[in-house]
Amino acid sequence: MLDDFEPDLTRSWSAKFGDAFRGVREEIRGQRSFRVHFAAAVAVIVSAAALRVTLPEWCVLLMCITGVLVAEMFNTAMEALAKAITHNLNRHIALALDIAGAAVLVASIGSALVGGIIFVNRLGLMLQWW
């Protein structure tokens, strides 16, 4: 399928969006860690609705979710490029892949901290702890 892929800069917007949605589909189908992050995102959305977060809190949570999913997609893209370049061990490629994985880790930890702060605060307000 991808062996005959040749980008055409004159393609229509609908074709470009089609390619992007194909990328999302392939990410969901082929990457277990993306599915885990996607499930976590759904849990965050359900929890945010249950805790009745404010509009600014929704915006922050959705940006965190987006950041983690985008980081995961870039990590997958880096892995695909590395495999296309060589199957041999290359310390520069290994370092790049480690850094891409670290980006996912940093985005995930930061998002978990932000979500924790928002959810603990909302829970405290609902239970009149403060």
The C-alpha atoms of residue 89 and residue 58 are separated, in whole angstroms, by 43
Q: Tell whether 43 is covered by a domain.
A: yes
pLDDT tens, position by position, 36-62: 999 999 999 999 999 999 999 999 999
Q: Kindly provide the residue ranges of all beta strands, DSSP E only, lying in 3-64, ordered along the sequence.
A: none
Q: What is the CATH number of the domain that holds 74?
A: 1.10.287.3610
Q: Tell whether 57 is covered by a domain.
A: yes
Give me the domain span that covers residue 109.
Answer: 17-126
Assign residue 128 a region: left if phi > 0, alpha if psi is -120 to 50, beta otherwise? left
Total domains, the chain: 1
pLDDT tens, position by position, 65-117: 999 999 999 999 999 999 999 999 999 999 999 999 999 999 999 999 999 99
pLDDT tier at 130, thresholds 50, 70, 90 = confident
